[in-house]
Structure 1
């Protein structure tokens, strides 16, 4: 069955604080979505609504046309992986696998045990005795092996070292190729993870400022570098994100469509056109006052 997540006018308020305001988007099966935003932007609030951990103050969150909140069938389609405090958890990884098999029919224990080997996790040691990195590796193991149509990882890499994160990223891509689903990854490690994403949802101060395919988004960001007067002249009227000056040379970071006419003008003036990373775009698109 084709899976689709649809958010319609989602708002979430805590007392007087509005965490999310009028969020709208559609997520489709077979794509990996990156959810990025500064601290306090509302990322976890949004993911909690998708996973039915929290009811939106207003608006509707639907999976395949069904409202998800307090809908057992819809909720069973979602796995929400987030940081968990295991200090009082005496069960072993093996015991958690037993529980997952009982309550999540799609759980793939064979794959889970393969991941345990990859992450070098002690399967018969109580979770509370594992390091923070191992606990995170266990969390992503449960998410990957759940085989749920919608799998959410909220800053799931915390505590993992770089080699372990690379194993996680590789498994997300391989599992998506084997069993396409909706993967949603919230992260601050944008430069490290951007190659994973098909689309990005950028949240700023509780609003969704863009949802875009990564390739399309990156095409909208570019820099122009050269003699100051020529650069200033050529970028007049364009959306400038940032500028840097070194002696008589200026570099300006721009956002928007680079038309053929404008590109020809830049080339004619012998200015340099450069690429901008997703990380740089994120920083400047979420600046105060943008």
Structure 2
């Protein structure tokens, strides 16, 4: 569905943001895109939707070149940006103006999401709080039924109940022919949603692994002392001892802690990357 081959991108004469990136993403999956500030996460999302263009290499999405911005392509891609400005109109007016751009827009699904997020009806969008505005855009994004859904920090600005509702809504709406990519620093908000983890580092994809393979190779657990865990790759102190990431030698089942995994990769990059190359 999405294919990058030797993609290279930089801003004017600056250092490369993305360098020789090769990537293949499939439908029916939710990808978590992780990386430090400035790693190029937003730039990568903008390549997928045609807002930024490769300097060299190739980017193809659903068989299209995003840079050409053909109407048939734009109808099937939706980007929820981190920063946005909504016009001074109510939700019904917003739908009348923007929903026609998406032939598969599902008005009933939009209504369900708005109700689930407890968005007040009839108010001007500008009268809503930032978090409420974001929930309107999330609802709109999902209702487009676009084949490629791109979300840049979607949980920023959401309160705790809204984050829980976000996870519930996302988990129940992805279709087999859709691909969703969520870029975030709020990794704990996405632990239960993600099918595959992408980590950007040094201008490229450092790691691309499914959650199933990560938990097959590594175990995530809480221990009272480090002696309880055989040579952990990475550990962090907690109120109840330590949280550790260790090689899963006993084929035990543990739940992915995506924040711990990302921190472990950043600190013990060579050890973890080599583990997944075996």
2:274 aligned residue: none
Question: Displacement of 1:274 after TM fit?
Answer: 8.0
Alignment of 1:238-249 (within 5 A): 241-242=233-234
Q: Distance in 2 between matches of 1:111 and 1:209?
A: 36
Q: Which range is displaced more, 102-111 or 279-288?
A: 279-288
Q: Which residue is equivalent to 2:161?
A: 163
Which residue does 1:76 correspond to in 2? Answer: 75
Secondary structure (helix, strand or coil) at the match of 1:157 reads coil
Structure with larger Rg: 1
SS at match of 1:97: helix
* Coordinate RMSD, CA, aligned: 3.1
Unaligned runs of 5+ in 2: 271-278
Cα pair 1:40 1:205 within 8 Å, conserved: no
What SS does the aligned partner of 1:191 have?
helix
Partner of 2:190: helix, strand, or coil?
helix
2:189 aligned to 182, 188, 192, which one?
192
Match in the other structure for 2:275: none
Q: What do the CA deviations read for 1:201-258 (whole angstroms, capped 9, x no partner)?
A: 1112322111111110122223798999998xx75xxxx733689xxxx997445x74
CA contact (8 A) 2:75 2:103 kept: no
Partner of 1:120: 118
Partners of 1:38 and 1:276 lie apart in 2 by 19
Structure 1 residues 284 and 108: CA distance shift in structure 2, 3 A: same
CA–CA distance in 2 between the matches of 1:183 and 1:110? 21
Whether the 8 Å contact between 1:11 and 1:59 is mirrored in structure 2 is yes
Residues 215 and 253 in structure 2, CA contact (< 8 A), matched pair in contact too: no
After TM superposition, give the deviation of residue 104 of structure 1 in Å.
1.4
Does the aligned pair in 2 maintain the 1:221–1:281 contact within 8 Å? Answer: no
Aligned residue among 215, 218, 223 for 1:221 = 218
1:145 and 1:229 map into 2 onto residues whose CA distance is 50
Give the Cα–Cα distance (whole angstroms) in 2 for the partners of residues 112 and 161 of structure 1. Answer: 20
Q: CA deviation at 1:65?
A: 2.9
Partners in 1 of 2:24 and 2:132 — Cα distance?
33
CA distance in structure 2 between the partners assigned to 1:220 and 1:35 by the alignment: 20
- Structure-2 change in CA distance of 1:149 and 1:253 (3 Å): closer
Deviates more, 1:126-135 or 1:217-226: 217-226
Structure 1: stretches of 5+ with no match in the other structure? 265-271
* Residue 172, structure 1, aligned to residue 164, structure 2: no
| Correspondence for 1:281 | 261
Secondary structure in 1 aligned to 2:185? coil
Within the candidate set 99, 102, 118, 2:100 is matched to 102
TM-score scaled to structure 2, two decimals? 0.83
